[in-house]
Amino acid sequence: MHDRLTHAELLELKRWNTPTIYNGWEQITSHDPAADGFNLEETRDFMPQMGPMVGYAVTVVFEPSNPEHVNANAWSEYRRYVAAEPGPKIVVVEDLDKPRVVGSFWGEVNSNVHAVLGCVGTITDGAVRDVDEMTNAGFKALARCTCVGHAHSVPVRWGCTVEVFGRRIEPGGLVHADKHGFLAIPREDEAGLLEAARFMDSNECRTVIAAARSAAGKTQEELLTLLDAAGRAFRTAARERFPGRGAR
């Protein structure tokens, strides 16, 4: 098992949007890039101005409609779990009431508490509230919608596999997320992810994007010929760099 990415490497991953990270990931993964890794349902980014977030998943399940989840120590035990995990952390919250929206796990208090525990944001298939105050705390949120209250908001279980927006996420997994959605990166794909994203971003800029922005003064036929050549160059470079997988 390889070492986890360094803080510097995570900061570099954060410089690109999630589709760019996906473009690198699909070149190195043995998983199905048409079905695995990314959210299968629509998400909403409530702080798009904050840009992408990247971190390791800490997971929790709650059911705000149900008053029967009585555990006087739940919040304390859950916070100790979050605090003990390496950061930066993204809190992935499964709302058992989905698609109903009854209450929010998040608000001004919880976002500030989680921020001080090393969390940079959340992905929840439920709701958020106090959006301005969460933003002020520097805590990013991808969620289904907003709501007014917290209802019976208490952690039910944590440190477990969760399913949000049609995607299963394991605790400790690397997650990259922005206004487009999120990508849950399998552990075995972490080591090559940054290099692959760098390469594919540069490959686009040197080939197909450069050709598309060189249209001035060319006839339509000349432009189409140029685009065909650029597409071939793009695929060739990817296949040479990622034999058997490139440019798929």
Domain with CATH 3.50.30.40 in the chain: 37-185
The CATH superfamily of 37-185 is: Ribonuclease E inhibitor RraA/RraA-like (3.50.30.40)
Residue 215, pLDDT score: 86
Residue 30, pLDDT score: 94
Average pLDDT score over residue span 61-84:
92
Instruction: For 125-146, write each residue's pLDDT tens digit.
Output: 999 999 999 999 999 999 999 9
Tell me the sheet residues that pair with 74. none
Residue 72, pLDDT score: 82
Cβ atoms of 90 and 123 within 8 Å: the answer is yes
- Please determine, for residue 198, whether its predicted confidence score (pLDDT) is greater than 60: yes
Residue with tokens 């555990």, as numbered in its chain: 71
DSSP-assigned letter for residue 42? -
HSE (side-chain half, CA atoms, 13 Å) at 25: 28
- Please determine, for residue 248, whether its predicted confidence score (pLDDT) is greater than 80: no
- Please determine, for residue 3, whether its predicted confidence score (pLDDT) is greater than 90: no
Q: Which tokens is 156 given?
A: 């039910």
97 CA to centre of own chain: 22
Instruction: For 42-60, write each residue's pLDDT tens digit.
Output: 999 999 999 999 999 999 9
What is the DSSP track for 138-193?
Answer: T-EEEESEE-S---S----EESS-EEETTEEE-TT-EEEEETTEEEEE-GGGHHHH
Average pLDDT, the chain: 94
The three-state secondary structure class of 223 is helix
Distances (CA, A) of 71 to 25, 77, 91, 157: 41, 10, 21, 11
Class of residue 198 by CB neighbours under 10 A (exposed 0-12, middle 13-18, buried 19+) = middle
Query: What share of the chain in percent tops pLDDT 90?
Result: 92
Instruction: Please tell me the pTM assigned to this model.
Output: 0.93
